[in-house]
Every structure is written in C-alpha cells, then in structure tokens.
C-alpha cells in the first residue's frame, strides 16, 4: 500500500525526471508515494472531451508526476475511429447498434491512448485514466483501461461504490476516487473495506475552486465550509487514523492549486500531493486546440459561470457566447422539459441525461456536442470548463516542464528566509 507522506528525497527517484527531482529536494516539499513509486507531489487532472490525452498525460508522467487521460469520448483524437462512427446517429431505428459501435470505438481509443502515453512517459511517473461515474459506459471504460494496463483508475462525478468489483482481477492497478468531503471519504472506505479493497489514494476536490463537474449536490452548496481543505483534510485524516489506515491512503488536494505556496499549505494540512487541471490544459503539450487554451488562459474569475450540467451536477466554465446564450433561454427550455424517444446522437453518453430523459432542473443541451466544439477551439459553440484562480503564467502558454518548475519553486521571500 501507499504511504501518506514521504520523507524528503535523499537520492533521485527512478520515476522522476532527474532535474525536477533535484528541484523537489530543494523546494521544501515532500515527494508523494503511489503504488510503491516515489513521485513529484503533482497530479494532472483528467479532462474530457479529449483535453487530456496521451501527449499531455505522457509528458506529465515523464516529468515524474501522475499524467491522467480522460476516457470520455476518447475517439475524438483518432480520425479512423471518428470515420468509423460518423453518421451513425442518423440511422433511425438502429440506436442499439449505434451505441455499441460508438462504445467499441471509444474503448479502442482508451487502449490506444494508454499505450501512447506510456511510451511517452519513458517509464517514469504514473499513467492514470479518469472515468466519470455518470457516463453510460462507465464499466466498459474502466474494464478497457484495466485490460490495457493503466497504472491507476480515477473516478469522479458520482460515488464509485462498485469500482473494487470491476477491478477485482487487477489487484496491481491503483483505484482512486474523487470526493469532496470527509463524509464521502468515510462512506467509500467503509463500503470498499467490505469488498476487501481500500482506495490507493483519494482526491479531495473543492467544488468552489475546481472546474468542470463539481462535487456538490447543487450550486447553492458550492461555498459550504465543509468542503474547505482546512476542514476536510484533517477530518478525513482523523477518520483514517481512527481506522488504522492513515498511512495507506494518501490524500490529494484538487481545486485552485496554482503555486508552490498552495502545495506547501495543503501538505502542511496533511495532504500528500495536489491535482491541477486548468494549468495543465493550457500547456504547450495540452491536447486541445490552441484557441481552447487561449480562452482558458485569458479568462478571469469574473468570467466564470456556475450552472447545472446535463449530468445533473453543478459545473463551472468560462462564460463564452454559447454558454451565455444557453443560460438566457434556460428557463424557457426548462418550462417545456419532456423525455425524448431517443438521444439525438444515439450515443447516450450519460447514464442519466437531462435533455434526453426530460429531467427538470438538469441541463438541457448536448454536452458531447459542446465539449467537442471546445476541443476544436470553436468559441461560438464550445463549452469551456475551467477552474478559478489566475494561472501560474497568466495568459501565457508554456510547457509542462516550465509549469512543473514553477510549482516547485519557492517564492523569493521564502528563499530569503
């Protein structure tokens, strides 16, 4: 099992870039141990559709961090798989066949992405796959990832109570749920213990700070103090300590992490490491279109919009033309909510969809269309998920290495002490 916190490095780790390992030693930060590997205490968050694919995840792992792929509609980066599934949604009466073919293409893409990311990693770091619990082919994505030999499966957007069952034949794979409060930590640990499995780490994601789908029941809950790192990390550690497993389950803080000081602060609270999404999304190696990166990099906190996603979860994104236009007519769309006979794309990407299933209060748009548009850099049609906080390099697009170096660099004031 994994240790919660490691001692400062005495010798360079075989799983880290040598220069960054040396910088970590000088940074005052502690390395993080996952799956027996001593790593940088930095996890790149999984971002769909296609935002975190093999180029980004493989580069992060090569530096000595955790590079995370996203399983959701991974075919978007594979022209042959897109061609294979193009136009299937127009075949009325063949919905089941369409769904099977799209799911098969996405599972194939998942395996390809894992292989490509592992090759890019040069044997360093860890390669993880993020799977949303809310997607319809959740179990298929998890199974495909495990069979392709991914190092870790990370699950958010719902409680992955069944993840140990899906991974029962893959004892070497790390299982990492994303949760937001100490109550969720207790629930997952107790449920998984009955299945003879413990989380190998837990990501603690703050819904007031993160981007994309958020771990709160409704928008009004985003500022609830029970989500504050100063509360949830110590409370979660107290529970783990009482159960005698504190050193076996590292906590990884996610949401609003932008600097060395942020990492130091959460490590002081007891976290082993941090997870960042938006700062990695805008790197040179990020897998999205340059216009996608520009939109995120130039957005300010006052440009952020919270709304309810089609998945029924609060979400945070940049207030782009499409999102503003949608929100203007959302009340009218909600007034005529009704269940549809079929998904307009016959893809059924979500297990429960506000648009398809006519769920009042849930989003009324096709999230796959809008996220795919953002991936292409289409400002007029895209949904651009983003977390809050100014990015480490402001509006500049820099490399993964430069971002890692910035995160491991103490401020001038701290170095002078």
Q: Each residue of 366-389: pLDDT tens digit?
A: 999 999 999 999 999 999 999 999
- How many Å apart are CA 86 and CA 121, to the nearest integer? 32
- 46 contact partners, CB below 8 Å, separation of at least 6: 52, 68, 69, 70, 71, 128, 129, 130, 154, 277
- How many Å apart are CA 101 and CA 367, to the nearest integer? 20
93 pLDDT band (50/70/90 cuts)? Answer: low
> Tell me, what's the pLDDT at 377?
96
Candidate from 148-152, 395-399, 409-413 with smallest mean pLDDT: 409-413
pLDDT: which is higher, 413 or 238:
238
| pLDDT for 415 beyond 70 | no
Joined tokens for residue 175 = 């299982």
Strands (E), 180-323: 202-205, 212-213, 251-254, 273-276, 304-308, 314-318
- How many Å apart are CA 344 and CA 321, to the nearest integer? 23
What integer is the mean pLDDT of 42-58?
96
> Tell me, what's the pLDDT at 47?
95
- Exposure pattern of 327-354 as b/e (b: 16+ CB <10 Å)? eeeeeeeeeeeeeeeebebbbbbbeebb
| pLDDT for 359 beyond 90 | yes
Question: Can you say whether the dihedral through the CA atoms of 11, 16, 18, 23 is positive or negative?
Answer: negative
| pLDDT for 404 beyond 80 | yes
> Tell me, what's the pLDDT at 417?
32
> Tell me, what's the pLDDT at 411?
75
CA angle 201, 206, 211 (to 5 degrees): 105
The answer to whether 192 touches 210, Cβ cutoff 8 Å, is: no
What integer is the mean pLDDT of 291-308?
96
Each residue of 199-255: pLDDT tens digit?
Answer: 999 999 999 999 999 989 889 999 999 999 999 999 999 999 999 998 899 999 999
| pLDDT for 416 beyond 50 | no
| pLDDT for 54 beyond 60 | yes
Question: pTM, whole model, 2 decimals?
Answer: 0.93
CA–CA distances in Å: residue 101 to residues 166, 287, 417: 22, 24, 60
> Tell me, what's the pLDDT at 413?
43
Joined tokens for residue 404 = 């890692």
């Amino acid at each position: 099992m994994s240790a919660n916190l490691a001692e400062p490095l005495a010798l360079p780790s075989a799983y880290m870039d040598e220069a960054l390992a040396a910088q970590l030693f000088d940074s005052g930060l502690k390395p993080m141990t996952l799956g027996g590997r001593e790593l940088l205490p930095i996890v790149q968050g999984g971002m769909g559709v296609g935002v975190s694919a093999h180029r980004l995840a493989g580069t992060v792992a090569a530096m000595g961090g955790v590079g995370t792929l996203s399983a959701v509609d991974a075919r978007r980066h594979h022209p042959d798989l897109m061609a294979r599934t193009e136009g299937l949604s127009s075949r009325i009466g063949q919905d089941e066949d369409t769904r099977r073919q799209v799911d098969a293409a996405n599972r194939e893409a998942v395996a390809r992405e894992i292989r490509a990311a592992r090759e890019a990693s040069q044997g360093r770091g860890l390669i993880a796959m993020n799977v949303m619990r809310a997607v319809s082919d959740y179990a298929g994505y998890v199974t495909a990832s495990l069979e392709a030999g991914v190092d870790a499966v990370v699950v958010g957007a719902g409680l992955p109570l069944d993840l140990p069952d899906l991974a029962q034949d893959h004892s070497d794979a790390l299982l990492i749920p994303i949760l937001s409060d100490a109550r969720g930590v207790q629930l997952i640990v107790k449920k998984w213990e009955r299945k003879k499995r413990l989380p190998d780490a837990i990501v603690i994601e703050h819904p007031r700070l993160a981007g994309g789908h958020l771990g709160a029941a409704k928008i009004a809950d985003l500022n609830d103090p029970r989500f504050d790192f100063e509360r949830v990390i110590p409370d979660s550690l107290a529970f783990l300590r009482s159960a005698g497993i504190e050193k076996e389950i590292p906590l990884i803080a996610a949401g609003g992490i932008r600097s060395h000081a942020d990492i130091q602060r959460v490590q002081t609270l007891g976290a082993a490491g941090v997870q960042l999404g938006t700062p990695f999304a805008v790197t040179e190696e990020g897998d999205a279109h340059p216009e996608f990166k520009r939109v995120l990099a130039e957005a300010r906190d006052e440009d952020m919009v919270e709304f309810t996603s089609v998945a029924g979860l609060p979400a945070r994104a940049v207030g782009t033309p499409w999102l503003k236009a949608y929100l203007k007519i959302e009340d009218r769309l909600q007034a005529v909510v009704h269940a549809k006979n079929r998904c307009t794309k016959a893809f059924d990407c979500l297990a429960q969809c506000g648009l398809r299933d006519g769920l009042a209060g849930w989003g009324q748009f096709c999230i796959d269309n809008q996220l795919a548009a953002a991936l292409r850099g289409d400002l007029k049609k895209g949904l651009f998920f983003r977390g809050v906080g100014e990015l480490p390099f402001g509006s500049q697009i820099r490399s993964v290495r430069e971002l890692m170096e910035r995160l491991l660099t103490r401020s001038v004031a701290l170095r002078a002490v």
